[in-house]
Amino acid sequence: MDGFFQDKKSSASLSIISNAVLIAIKLAAGFLTGSVAIISEAVHSFLDLMAAMMAWGAVQVSDSPPDYEHPFGHGKAENISALFEAILIIVGGIFILRESILGIIEGRQLPSLHAGVAVMLFSTIINFLISRHLFKIGKKSGSEALTADAWHLRTDVYTSMGILLALLTIEAGRLINPAWDLSFVDSGVAGLVSLMIIKTGLTLGWDSMKGLVDHSLPPEEIKLIVEHIQDSYPAILGFRRLRTRRSGPYRQVLVDILVDEHLSVGEAHELGVRLALSIRSHFPQTDVTFHLEPVKPAKTPAETT
């Protein structure tokens, strides 16, 4: 996989293909075994497919260059996509929780689960490999949509492992004593896993909304930007009003740079350009806007962020 699917668009396509295949085999195994957990997991994978398709669409839009109506680009398309994916995760978790409760109340019994065990083991391995790949590409490209899709698939890994453990427990009970019926474990584990899914959805939704309301960059990123500014001392005398935000894979930095009032406009501007290039050395997709403020060297205002 490392030799292929190395960009955002192809990686999003890979997620769509894998989800489509897993939905088909999970539905087949679910109806064959009667496992509410497997059927619920198939529904969850269907939500994953919907999320993957939204992520694919979002990266197409976010990569579009700025235009007259969107002078700051289309990066927030990825934040919107991530928010909808979070909603899908929560909806899927609630559905699985509902089915698990009904399974316990109705006392559903399950036939042979060999096919279900094989399918869930296969699903766990495939989703782990693809989610790891999407995390890698999402981090490399700064794509909120791909990262959200990776979290979506990673929750599938946890749910598949939980369901696999439940199926093995039921089968082990039958081997020990054929009279034992531990089918309730299937529904019980599905219920516990659903709570984890809902929590993941809430966390992802909160993170995506922060991008939509122009939340500042994480403290560690701001700290690194400040270090780049301070590395420009003493050519730059100081800075004020550092403002940051993120729009999908793109960062925006606005800062007032304090320079010697005796510098020419060209010299002061050159300092700002060098600073912007320095920041972009760590954050390539960053729009740095600086305002030059001339001051007397002996009366440099205090730095504020």
Q: Of 199, 201, 208, 249, nearest to 81 (Cα)? A: 208
pLDDT, tens only, 158-173: 878 888 888 888 888 8
- Specify the pLDDT at position 300: 47
Average pLDDT over the chain, rounded to an integer: 78
pLDDT, tens only, 67-107: 666 666 666 677 777 787 788 778 878 887 887 788 778 77
Mean pLDDT of 34-57: 73
pLDDT, tens only, 242-272: 888 877 667 888 888 888 888 888 888 888 8
- Specify the pLDDT at position 5: 56
- Specify the pLDDT at position 195: 85
What pTM did the predictor assign? 0.57
d(CA 102, CA 117): 22
Q: At a CB cut-off of 8 Å and minimum separation 6, what does 124 contact?
A: 157, 160, 161, 164
Mean pLDDT of 214-225: 83
- Specify the pLDDT at position 257: 87
Higher pLDDT among residues 195 and 247, named by residue: 195
- Specify the pLDDT at position 283: 84
Higher pLDDT among residues 108 and 296, named by residue: 296
- Specify the pLDDT at position 89: 79
What does each C-alpha distance from 195 to 159, 164, 178 come to in angstroms? 10, 17, 31
301 has pLDDT over 80: no
Q: Of 87, 83, 99, nearest to 248 (Cα)? A: 83
pLDDT, tens only, 118-144: 888 888 898 888 888 888 888 777 776
CB 198 within 8 A of CB 94: yes
pLDDT > 90 in the chain, percent: 0
Higher pLDDT among residues 219 and 111, named by residue: 219
Backbone angles phi, psi at 12, to 5 degrees: -65, -35
Going from the N-terminus, what domains does the chain have, and what CATH number goes with each?
Answer: 8-212 (1.20.1510.10), 219-299 (3.30.70.1350)
